[in-house]
Amino acid sequence: MKIPAELRYSSDHEWALANGDVVRVGITDYAQDALGDVVYVELPTVGASLAAGDALGEVESTKSVSEIYAPVAGVVSAVNEALTASPEIINDDPYGTGWICELTMSDASQYGALLDADGYRALTND
């Protein structure tokens, strides 16, 4: 299982990567592996305001449906429209082209409070 060192992680298996006050969000390799083949992604609405921990969308697989949670508070500034036509991108490249959305953070300190790679590795016992 891949756990890139440059990312931050939530205990709900989302990853986050900050670029200034914008955070790109996706689900982890661990999460996509547990879900199995992703067949549908419900993306958030651009402009939606979310608190940390709010559901921002869903990922449906051949096994189950799982909510995706905002790792930080902010406003949805972009979504990955490619997932609408090709949701399996999440399985193929969860940390790259399989990103789900971008949030403009309202409280940057929340990003620093997320797990680092070692903390996430300990959470998943990998």
Domain regions of the chain by residue span: 8-108
Say if strands 101-105 and 55-61 run parallel, antiparallel, or are unpaired.
unpaired
Q: How far is it, in rounded angstroms, from Cα 77 to Cα 109?
A: 19
- Write the pLDDT tens digit of every residue in 61-91: 998 999 999 999 999 999 999 999 999 999 9
Per the CB < 8 A criterion, the answer to whether 43 and 83 are in contact is: yes
**Which amino acid type is present at position 88?**
E
**Which amino acid type is present at position 14?**
E
Model pTM above 0.85: yes
Tell me the CA distances in angstroms from 100 to 38, 46, 67, 85, 96, one per residue in order. 13, 12, 12, 13, 10
Per the CB < 8 A criterion, the answer to whether 76 and 68 are in contact is: no
- Per-residue pLDDT for 126 more than 70? no
pLDDT attached to residue 24? 98
- Which of 3.40.47.10, 2.40.50.100, 2.40.37.10, 3.40.50.720 is the CATH number of 8-108? 2.40.50.100
pLDDT attached to residue 125? 86
